[in-house]
Structure 1
Amino acid sequence: MTVDTGLAALPSRLEHFPISIFGVTMGLFGLALALHACGVAWASSAVGWSAFAVMLFLATMYLLKALRHPESVAAEWHHPVRLAFFPATAISLLLFATFLRDQNPAAANIVWIIGASAQAVFTLVVVTTWISHRSFGPGQLSPAWFIPAVGNVVVPLAGVPLGHFEASWYFFSVGIVFWIVLLTLVFNRLIFHDPLPGKLRPTLVILIAPPAVAFLAWIQLSGGAVDAPARLLLNIGYFFTALVAIQVPALLRLPFALPFWALSFPLAAMTTASFRFAALDGSAPHRVIGWTLLALLILTIAALTVRTIRAVVAREICQPE
């Protein structure tokens, strides 16, 4: 069986094409931004445009799914876990705008407006769903719930340089509030209730993303000042990185599934944050940390790419659960 055979079979399995697959584009754009932060511009450009091509392909496939199997999309929207992955589409656009802002500010501005608008709508709709008459149990809560609300802290990364200062403050404020709220709820679930199911255990890595991205957003909003809030956010990110690192051996024993791409973007965000701090503060240790995390990030994305291709070839992707 060839890769072509596996890819050719995807249209016939569109009904089961998961919204969580947009974690792939988040990870790839994250790698592009990390490479840019360490000064490897040519590699950043290559990875960034590759991520854009992947995003277009995935968006096309999901649009076809929406047209052919709207009931399947509705089922994902009403699923307590999969609902959280819909804003990954908006976050991917915001990351693309961040990647694009230095190359083509005008185009980046258009992409940012679309992504920020979508993120605002997703946040309101998802949070409304959470507090509506529907009842959610502790077993339905996972770190993936950070995506809809805390994804707001991604907005200032391109928003501030593009001139959307007050709007960036709005999104940052909402993101920080919901990070604190959801962090409390998630830790209550992790400590006092049953362990996460196997396929959701990789989402533990998402714990790294909010403080790492919030650090990068704060740097933009504060004009590049490495002040107390910046140091606080960065070091919280390092703590969660260490906490998750302890879980990695157990995660590697799990069978591969698309949620494993959750490992990529948080690691990329922490890598970029380390390089950014090193550049602003002149810290050699943080630059060493950045290069170490970048090496791990490249190995992680390479491994995820190989495993995803194998899964496509073996027709393990887009299967009913």
Structure 2
Amino acid sequence: MTSFPTTPAEHGRLAHFPITFFATTMGLGGFALALRAAAGPLGLGPMPFRAALGASLVAFGLIVLIYLLKAARHWGAVVAEWHHPVRLAFFPTTSVSMLLLATALLSEAPAAAEALWLAGTALQGVLTLSVITSWIGTRSFLHGHLNPAWFIPAVGNVIVPITGAQLGYMEVSFLFFAAGMMFWLILLTLVFNRLVFHDPMPVRLQPTLVIMIAPPAVAFISWVRMTGGVDAFAHILISLGYVFAALVVVQLPRILRLPFAMSFWALSFPVAGLTIASFLYAEKTGSAAHLVIGTGLLGLLTLIIAGLVGRTALAIARGQICVPE
């Protein structure tokens, strides 16, 4: 079994508030964007999207505030998370959340959306370089440390063009898209090698398998935004999203029987990405089949978000969150 270094045992729960909490804002932001994508074809109107966006902004602001307090009072715990071989990959969830919220705000407050996108893009670039430098630098990683959460820095890069292309930052969009696709292919090879030829992942990391859906689904959305249509490459990307979704569905009954952990939030954003991709494909091609798929995925996503919010609230009430590993 692989052992992970733990956070210093400072007193109080604040010291153990994990960077993984930002995965909740990724899920909530993705849910808001899925509702916006469904608003037209399903006749939902703007209110569900705006309510979800409001909840996402509140959650993000609250989590940022708490993590800044942690950094101010327990800097050693933040450093320990940065040096943790698994949690390191979750630091870009901060910039990814900013990029998702910028995308959601684009239709409501364009100026604020552009400012948030610029800040999120800059932070994403810094974190990508920092995380990858840590991977290939002097630190020692074991095969057991590798898991699908390592896709997060790559996924963050392919999110940049979704809003960047609409704002006119085409060169920046292609730059981040290229980086994201390159590292996705590299990490995909490494992750499959780890899953097939090495020990099973620890129980609390099993839900991260769902993350494999996100890169091709999000890449499809970005590619369509950059090129304006569904070409052969776009067909390949969305098809890969469905292929990985099928692989995950086979594993899902086993995953859902596992004890709840914050890693279960990994179920939310990938499903949101595939939902949005399906609605976008239906919009661009007039495919009734993809409209049905998108509608079904939106229903599933709604259940996932409701379940995760409820289960997280219960875990907080029981004192099961923000405790030493």
Choose the corresponding residue for 1:294, options 295, 298, 301. Answer: 298
The residue identity in structure 2 corresponding to 1:108 is A
Deviations 1:43-69 (A, max 9, x none): 011101110000000000000000000
Q: Secondary structure at the match of 1:160?
A: helix
**Contact 2:155–2:218 (CA under 8 A) maintained in structure 1:** no
Choose the corresponding residue for 1:109, options 97, 114, 117. Answer: 114
**Contact 2:15–2:77 (CA under 8 A) maintained in structure 1:** yes
Corresponding residue of 2:4: none
Once superposed, which parts of structure 1, at least 4 consecutive aligned residues long, lie more than 6 Å away?
none
Corresponding residue of 1:127: 132
Corresponding residue of 1:34: 34
Corresponding residue of 2:166: 161
Q: Secondary structure at the match of 1:161?
A: helix
**Contact 2:29–2:104 (CA under 8 A) maintained in structure 1:** yes
Equivalent positions of 1:1-321 (< 5 A) are 12-39=12-39, 40=44, 41-223=46-228, 225-321=229-325
Deviations 1:182-203 (A, max 9, x none): 0000000000000111000000
Q: CA deviation at 1:149?
A: 2.6
- CA distance in structure 1 between the aligned counterparts of 2:241 and 2:144, rounded to whole angstroms: 25
- CA distance in structure 1 between the aligned counterparts of 2:150 and 2:301, rounded to whole angstroms: 23
Deviations 1:9-49 (A, max 9, x none): xx941000000011100000100100111113210111011
The residue identity in structure 2 corresponding to 1:168 is S
Identity percentage of aligned residues: 55
- CA distance in structure 1 between the aligned counterparts of 2:23 and 2:67, rounded to whole angstroms: 13
Corresponding residue of 2:3: none
- CA distance in structure 1 between the aligned counterparts of 2:49 and 2:109, rounded to whole angstroms: 15
- CA distance in structure 1 between the aligned counterparts of 2:243 and 2:309, rounded to whole angstroms: 27
Q: CA deviation at 1:244?
A: 0.3
- CA distance in structure 2 between the aligned counterparts of 1:29 and 1:193, rounded to whole angstroms: 34
The residue identity in structure 2 corresponding to 1:165 is M
Q: CA deviation at 1:295?
A: 0.4
- CA distance in structure 2 between the aligned counterparts of 1:151 and 1:30, rounded to whole angstroms: 13
Q: CA deviation at 1:103?
A: 1.2
**Contact 1:123–1:148 (CA under 8 A) maintained in structure 2:** yes
- CA distance in structure 2 between the aligned counterparts of 1:163 and 1:49, rounded to whole angstroms: 26
Deviations 1:266-288 (A, max 9, x none): 00000000000001100000000
The residue identity in structure 2 corresponding to 1:133 is T
**What is the TM-score normalised by the length of structure 1?**
0.95
Cα-Cα RMSD: 0.9
Q: CA deviation at 1:148?
A: 1.4
Q: CA deviation at 1:110?
A: 0.3
The residue identity in structure 2 corresponding to 1:240 is F
**Contact 2:238–2:277 (CA under 8 A) maintained in structure 1:** yes
Q: What is the number of equivalent residue pairs in this alignment?
A: 310
- CA distance in structure 2 between the aligned counterparts of 1:203 and 1:56, rounded to whole angstroms: 24
- Point out where structure 1 has 5 or more consecutive residues left out of the alignment: 1-10
**Contact 1:23–1:262 (CA under 8 A) maintained in structure 2:** yes
Q: CA deviation at 1:133?
A: 1.5
**What is the TM-score normalised by the length of structure 2?**
0.94
- Point out where structure 2 has 5 or more consecutive residues left out of the alignment: 1-10
Q: Secondary structure at the match of 2:166?
A: coil
The residue identity in structure 2 corresponding to 1:60 is L
Corresponding residue of 1:3: none
The residue identity in structure 2 corresponding to 1:282 is G
The residue identity in structure 1 corresponding to 2:123 is A
Corresponding residue of 2:8: none
Q: CA deviation at 1:102?
A: 1.3
Deviations 1:151-190 (A, max 9, x none): 1000011111111111011000000000000000000000
- CA distance in structure 2 between the aligned counterparts of 1:252 and 1:102, rounded to whole angstroms: 36
**Contact 1:29–1:96 (CA under 8 A) maintained in structure 2:** yes
Q: CA deviation at 1:134?
A: 1.4
**Contact 2:214–2:273 (CA under 8 A) maintained in structure 1:** yes
